[in-house]
Structure 1
């Protein structure tokens, strides 16, 4: 699976629920055994690969990332400018 294909899979999950938890996506991608798609960081957290995130961000310009809860969701009128909330 390429980073673009992984991002498309994430988009499908996001569109089905209108939100997507980072851990859910990263855990799924980690099972593909490709560190470009997902990896463990220095703290032991499972993370989505940077190339996948770049592609996912292109596909979801109106989504925001909730840093505290670690998930993507639709932008609300009350959200601050920028991708992260």
Structure 2
């Protein structure tokens, strides 16, 4: 799976549900055994690869990331500027 294919898979999941949990995406991508797609951080958390996130962000300009719950969702009129809420 390429970085772009990973981002497109994430986009498909996000559009299908209107949200996407980071752990769900990272766990799926981790099965491809490519640390550019997903990796474990120093705390043992599974993370989406940085290059995949860049590609996903380009595909989802209106998505916001809820840091506390670790998921992407559609932007609401009440959201602050920026991607992270």
Superposition map of 1:1-85 within 5 A = 1-85=1-85
TM-score with structure 1 length normalisation?
0.99
* RMSD of aligned residue pairs (Cα, Å): 0.2
Q: Which runs of 5+ in 2 are unaligned?
A: none
| Distance in 2 separating the partners of 1:26 and 1:78 | 28
Q: Which runs of 5+ in 1 are unaligned?
A: none
TM-score with structure 2 length normalisation?
0.99
